[in-house]
Structure 1
Amino acid sequence: MKLRDYMRLSWDQLNRRKVVTALCALGISIGSAAIIVALAVGESAAYYTDKEMKSFLKTDEITIRNEENNQGQAPEGDSQGSAGASATAASPNAITNQKLDLIRGLPHVKAVASFQRMGHYFFALDDGKIGNFELIATDLDTLVKFGNEFQQGGSSDVENTIIISPGAAMGLFDEQGEKNRRKQMQQNPNDQEMWKAMRELEKIPTPLYQKQISVMQEHPANTAKQQTQIPVRVTGVLKKPDGMSSDTVMYYKQAYVSHALAKKIREASQASGQAPDGNPVSMQESYSEVLVKVDQTSNLEAVEKQIQKLRLNTQNNLHQEERMEGQFVIMRIVFLGIGLFILFIASISIVVAMTMSTYQRRRQIGIMKVLGANLAQIRNMFIVESALLGLLGGLLGILLSYWVVWGINAILFMTGEIQPGENNQILFISSWILPTGMFFAIMTGVLSGIYPAVKASRTDALTAIKRE
């Protein structure tokens, strides 16, 4: 017989036993849907966790830290005086401009950005409002290359410009307003409603784009002497980083200036004799850290080895990614095991149904043998029939899994886990998961039909016809 004949005979038998067919297909559909949903949960969790991890722990970046600067040693500097001590006092492990030029020329290096953390500064507007941020010197045109996006404006080559994070524009008050806030907090330390209202006030942003602000070391109210103020213009406001909640963005107060402007600010600090944190300022500052972006994660280790030959201290986040991948492999295995267990339960119902079918169809089997059907044909007929059951169950399982995934996403949306404006699904089914679920469904049907098929092929033809 041809496959078409097996399919026709098997479909006729399934159509005759509608209730049994429906129950068996339902069991397989639940098992295959469990596998599809379980794999979808593992895949979705891996995707979003990897996305969140890469937004904070970049796996295509190498961080070079200046440990010599942390130990109080002064490394050699650049031609502009923004990074370093004299060559005679330099440490061989120092980050120098010569080494950075060599790193930029390495294969697979896309971008190099140097950073110098200058501490916390205050700034004032013309209307008297005062804010604060952590000041960081860097090459402003490299911010975009390292994943930063602008909400307004962008980097500029104009002198005395600054780029701020969104949190730096929040919670700005004038001197009198700040005094009133502190007085209310001291008078009502246990008033939760007042504290909540104060926190809401700190979330209110002040438009700073294209505004001129004055950067200073200390709060105007905390010093009796005249302090130097550096006027700068805000040419860019960064977007909120991915994964950062709206409640924590107000604490993300950073500002970026060029190394040339950083030198001018340090000179002003040197003239006053005080650093932002109360320590004397050295005119021979060094880079705090350097970020190196490679074209592909697979090339990161090779680039890092080349950088280490320059006697620089490096680190990356590859080990974090490998650790997370290992955890997700375990998660997928666990979820797959749950789905297979459900399919195993469903296969028992198929074995029972097909075995009962052999007893109900003994006369048919006997007649087929008398007419010349061999053992292989009898076995194939029952295996094809059980495979069709698996196929029906797999198709129903795909529909059921989509309903379950849609329901989970709807619940997450109603509970607020999915924010408006974001992608309206947390759980999703990848294209490779559907064939996997269908494969397990059909294999369950085939394997469950082997025993009834063998049982049917061993039926004695004459005995079966006489009994019927």
Structure 2
Amino acid sequence: MKLLDYFKLGWDQLKRRVVVTLLCTMGIAIGSASIVVAISFGESLHQYSQKQMSKLLMSDEIIVTGGGRAEGADPNDPNSAKPYELTKAKIGMMRTFPHIKALATYRTLNQFEFEVDSKKGYIDEIFATELDTLPAFGHELQQGGPSEQENTIILSYGATMGLFDSQLSKTRQQQLQSTSEREARNAWQEQQYIAYPVYQKQIVLKPRIFRSNDVGETVDIQIPVRVVGILKKPEGFTDDMLMRQKTAYVSPALGKRLQEAIVQMNGGKVKEGKNSSQTADYNKVQIKVDSSAHVKEVESLLKKLKLTTSTNLQREESMQNQLFTVRLIFGGAGVFILLVASISIIVAMTMSTYQRKRQIGIMKVLGANLGQIRNMFMVESALLGLLGGLVGILVSYWVIWGISIAIMHFNPPGPGPQENILFISPWILPVGLFFAIMTGVLSGIYPAIKASRTDALTAIKRD
């Protein structure tokens, strides 16, 4: 008999026993759908967690600083730290490393006040960096963008909130006299949460210094700059949290000028403390790698330059190990359901052998051998697995679609383009179909062997 003949015989038998075929098909469909959904859950969680960890943990970024001194070196010897310094030559070498998506140098300057339109605000930290690299490191702009002009600044959204206005302060004092203190406080707090429009306006920066009594003082050093960009308002943050995020970004050239002003303000000496400054043009380098999988490779190259590196890769690996356990649990549940479904096939095919004893006996009398009888039952079981697998794939799409709708219903989408959290990768479908067919084949082995051992004469006489 040819393979096509086996398929024809098997298909005819499945059509004759419609109820049994439907029950076995549904059992395998549920099992294969469970496999597909379980693997899809694991794959979706894996990719979603990777994206979220890349955003929150920044696992694809490396912070590079100077390596300090060699072990046992004299701390009073300035030359002992030179091989471990962060220099321009080393940064030039970093730019040639493979898998580097973006690189930015950073100098951190603390505590500035600024004035705009007779209002006063303050900035906790100013970062001097290459402004065109901000989007690469996840800093989205709500207004404007980097400029080639030197005296420009990009403010965070929080830096535009809570600006002090002397006229507004007088109005508040009047409100305290005419209304209750609680109402006046609430009105003042609401005004503090309003972002002041400073985009494309000129502001005047004033450094603050801290004396030994930790009292902040401003000095008569004024540096006018133009606001060329405002960072996008972060999602999921309360107004109180945004009020504390008062940062800004300037070019390295302007950062150097601000640093010189601070040094001059301190009498030409670098002062240790809250406003400690660095004599170098930068105190760290931030690197964006094209994938977190290449972070270790880039990190090993950086350590050869005798530099200190810092990443969140270990935290990501720990979380990925936990997610891998979840994926195993999902997959194990699907396999268990499929094994339960295989029992229905064994029972159905075994019953079929008893019902078809006469047919088997006649086939043997006509010359069918044991192998042909076994193959007939095996192909029939494989067809059951194929049907169940195809139905299972359809069911799995419905399940994923339904769960996705439920997630969107209970978790309203935010602004901007949305992406599906749950999805079925193309490679999962053949896996689910393979498990379904293998379940059918393995479940048909025992009935096939039992059918092939049926005595022809006894079967014909009994029927």
Q: TM-score normalized by structure 2?
A: 0.83
Deviation, structure 1 residue 332: 2.0
Q: Distance in 1 between matches of 2:6 and 2:18?
A: 18
The superposition leaves residues 176-195 of structure 1 with CA deviations (integer Å, 9 ceiling, x where unpaired) of 547888999x955xx9xx87
CA distance in 2, matches of 1:214, 1:429: 55
- Structure 2 match to 1:461: 456
Distance 1:448 1:199 in 2: 71
On the 8 A contact 1:209/1:237 being kept in 2, the answer is yes
Matches for 1:324-339 after TM superposition, within 5 Å: 324-339=319-334
1:81 aligned partner: none
Question: CA 1:357 to 1:106, structure 2 compared with 1: closer, same or farther past 3 Å?
Answer: closer
Q: In the alignment, does 2:18 pair up with 1:28? A: no
Measured in 2, the distance between the counterparts of 1:319 and 1:95 equals 24
Aligned to 1:289: 284
Shift in alpha-carbon separation, 1:240–1:215, aligned structure 2, 3 A: same
2:27 aligned partner, one-letter code: G
Shift of residue 23 of structure 1?
1.2
Moved more, 122-131 or 449-458: 122-131
Label 1:403 to 1:459 Cα distance change in 2 as closer, same or farther (>3 A).
same
Report whether the alignment pairs 1:206 with 2:196: yes
2: CA distance, partners of 1:199 / 1:452: 79
Is the CA contact (8 Å cut-off) linking 2:370 and 2:453 kept in structure 1? yes
**Structure 1: unaligned runs, 5 residues or longer:** 70-74, 76-85
| Separation in 1, partners of 2:446, 2:171 | 84
| Equivalent in the alignment of 2:339 | 344
Residue 376 of structure 1: aligned partner: 371
Alpha-carbon shift at residue 155 of structure 1 (Å): 1.5
Letter in 1 for 2:318: R
Distance 1:377 1:42, change over 3 A: same
- Note the C-alpha offset of 1:289: 1.4
* 1:177-192 superposed matches below 5 A: 177=168, 188=182
Distance 1:322 1:158, change over 3 A: same
Aligned pairs (5 A) from 1:289-308: 289-294=284-289, 300-308=295-303
> Which residue, out of 136, 141, 144, partners 2:132?
141
Q: Quick one: which amino acid aligns to residue 428 of structure 2?
A: I
- Displacement of 1:329 after TM fit? 2.9
Correspondence for 2:115: 124
C-alpha separation between the residues in 1 aligned to 2:416 and 2:232? 16
Q: Tell me, what secondary structure is at the counterpart of 2:86?
A: coil
Give how far 1:252 is off.
4.0
Residues 380-426 of structure 1: per-residue CA shift (max 9 Å, x gap): 11111111111111111111111111111111111125436442522
For 1:215, the equivalent position in structure 2 comes to: 205
Cα 1:32–1:279 shift into 2, 3 Å: closer
- Write the mapping of 1:68-467 to structure 2, written as runs, cut at 5 A: 68=68, 91-106=82-97, 109=100, 111-128=102-119, 130-172=121-163, 174-175=165-166, 177=168, 188=182, 204-218=194-208, 227-239=220-232, 244-247=235-238, 251-273=244-266, 279=274, 282=277, 284=279, 287-294=282-289, 300-419=295-414, 421-423=416-418, 425-467=420-462
Partner letter of residue 454 of structure 1?
I
Distance in structure 2 (CA, Å) of the matches to 1:32 and 1:180:
71
State the 1:148 CA deviation: 3.8
The 3-state SS of whatever aligns with 1:434 is helix
Partner Cα separation in structure 1 for residue 246 and residue 146 of structure 2: 18
The Cα of 1:306 is off from its aligned counterpart by 3.6
Kept in 1, the 8 Å contact 2:129–2:250? The answer is yes
Q: List per-residue Cα deviations over 1:261-315 (Å, max 9, x = no partner).
A: 1232233334444999975655725633112345565654444334323322123
SS in 1 for 2:454: coil
Please identify, of 341-350 and 313-322, the stretch whose mean Cα deviation from structure 2 is larger. 313-322
In structure 2, the CA distance between the partners of 1:173 and 1:34, relative to structure 1 (3 Å rule), is: farther
CA contact (8 A) 2:208 2:217 kept: no
**What is the CA deviation profile of residues 134-171 of structure 1, one whole-angstrom value per residue up to 9, with x for unaligned ones?**
21111223334444443332212212101223333344
Deviation at 1:100, TM superposition (A): 2.1
Q: Structure 1 counterpart of 2:375, which letter?
A: N
Matched, 1:4 2:14: no
Q: In 1, Cα distance between the equivalents of 2:90 and 2:18? A: 77
Tell whether the 8 Å contact from 1:42 to 1:335 is kept in structure 2 after alignment.
Answer: yes
Whole-angstrom CA distance in 1 between matches of 2:22 and 2:55: 48
Distance of 2:152 and 2:261 partners within structure 1: 17
Partner of 1:217, secondary structure, is: strand
Distance 1:144 1:225 in 2: 33
Report which stretch shifted further, 383-392 or 323-332. 323-332
Count of residue pairs the alignment pairs up: 443
For the residues of structure 2 that align with 1:172 and 1:27, how far apart are their CA atoms?
67
Match of 1:78 in 2: none
Change (3 A) 1:109 1:25: closer
How far, CA to CA, are the matches of 1:17 and 1:154 in structure 2?
71
Deviations 1:404-455 (A, max 9, x none): 1111111111112543644252211111111111111111111111111111
Gaps of 5+ in 2: 70-74, 210-214
Could you tell me whether the CA contact under 8 Å between 2:122 and 2:246 is conserved in 1? no
Between stretches 167-176 and 436-445, larger displacement belongs to 167-176
Q: Structure 1 CA distance, aligned partners of 2:21 and 2:278?
A: 84
Alpha-carbon distance change, 131 to 387 in structure 1, aligned in 2, over 3 angstroms: same
RMSD (Å), alpha carbons? 3.6
Is the Cα–Cα contact under 8 Å of residues 107 and 284 in structure 2 kept in the other structure? yes
